Amino acid sequence: MNKKKAIKYSKDFIIADGHIDLPFRLNKEGLLFKKNINLNNETSGNFDIPKAKRGGLDCPFMAIYIPSEKLEDEAYSFANSLIDLVKNTIKYNDQLAPALSPTQVIKNFNNDKISLPMGIENGSAIGKNLKNLNHFFNRGIRYVTLTHAKNNQICDSSYDTNKKWNGLSDFGKLLINEMNNIGMMIDVSHASDKTFYDILQITNKPLIASHSSPRKLTPDFERNMSDNMIKSLAKNNGIIMINFGSSFINNKSNILYAKIEELIEKWRLNNGYETKDIEVAKKREELIKNKNPYADLEDVLIAIDHVKNLVGDDFIGFGSDFDGLGDSLPNGLKNVSYYPMIIEGLLNRGYTKESIEKICYKNLFRVWNANLQSHQT
């Protein structure tokens, strides 16, 4: 019974996802400058149009991911190239459409089109020039993840053990104000705890965590959000969008993946390989197969439950990180066709239709609209 209802809801409701790494996946496949990428057929990736249609995914935010090794000028150029890639892909696939606001997403949904809004992952692309922020907003970017794996000119990263700024830099504080002024959402995923609390002292708009999960499930993983952070985010009227990665939602998986990377690094150094060598990728595949570190769909539901029990259902969304997690997606949740299974799981747990609709898109749209205000498009 709930399976049929879940499929119906997945068609009736807009389903939004805060973070999908399709652009960088296409770049890795050597397609950065290709203008005729066809997504109408099944691919080996987590996202394509047939999978999205089966899963009811209507509003996947395309992550314009900038690797931490790309410094400011190179990062700016690379971000623009990835934006061009998304725009060209939309033009070539008539079932896709651009979206600058929730209003446009709803219009596209009513016309049976999949919206591809965009967010920049890693504010290094902005450099130290606030005009670049406006440039990216005018190009269609609607959120900026302030940092990634390393500290940058804006703030400290949760992954970087050497905290350069003890939170936000002076430029970062100016940037937060300007993001508020122009209607750009502030994404706190990847930011250090101190950065998060610094932002809360400045922002007058609700925040997003576009692809994070509760730290309670992975106690030593700073990349996730602590209960106090989630409570503070809720007071800000923001949203945590649950990352589906196994290491984000299951502590055993988190420990196993860390151990796999440790073993790979030791093996790589002993055998004289570079990090990007194909032999390293094959060794990783072998170790993952042997150690079976995957979480399950149930772990995603537990993560959603945790946030709901902590602060209620007004502050939860989906932030899968599809196409950005490598081989670490949970069993039962391997691509964008699986959203009905999440909905079915929520129904089985007693979630109401109204609550599920909030999680699918209404919570995100509330935050997005609150940020846009005078910039509504």
Over residues 130-169, the pLDDT tens digits come to 999 999 999 999 999 999 999 999 999 999 999 999 999 9
- pLDDT score of 21: 98
Q: What is the mean pLDDT of the chain?
A: 96
The string of pLDDT tens digits covering residues 297-348 is 999 999 999 999 999 999 999 999 999 999 899 999 999 999 999 999 999 9
pLDDT tens for residues 197-250?
Answer: 999 999 999 999 999 999 999 999 999 999 999 999 999 999 999 999 999 999
What pLDDT, on the 0 to 100 scale, is given for residue 289? 87
Three-state DSSP class for 16? strand
- Single out the residue of 89, 79, 88, 78 nearest to residue 52, CA to CA: 89
pTM: 0.95
CA dist., res. 225 & res. 219, Å (int): 10
Which CATH architecture describes the domain 2-248+295-375?
Answer: Alpha-Beta Barrel (3.20)
pLDDT per residue as tens digits for the range 63-120: 999 999 998 899 999 999 999 999 999 999 999 999 999 999 999 999 999 999 999 9
What pLDDT was estimated at residue 375?
59
294 and 328 in contact (C-beta within 8 Å)?
yes
Domain ranges of the chain: 2-248+295-375, 251-292
Residue type, 88: N
* 255-281 per-residue burial string, b: 16 or more CB within 10 A, e: under 16: ebbeebeeebeeebeeeeeeeeeeebe
Main-chain phi, psi angles of 210, to 5 degrees: -70, -20
| Closest by Cα among 81, 175, 72, 184 to 137 | 184
According to DSSP, residue 168 is labeled B
Exposure class string for 37-73: b at 16+ Cβ within 10 A, else e: eebeeebebbbbbebbbbbbbbbbbbbbbbebebebe
Share of the chain above pLDDT 90, in %: 93
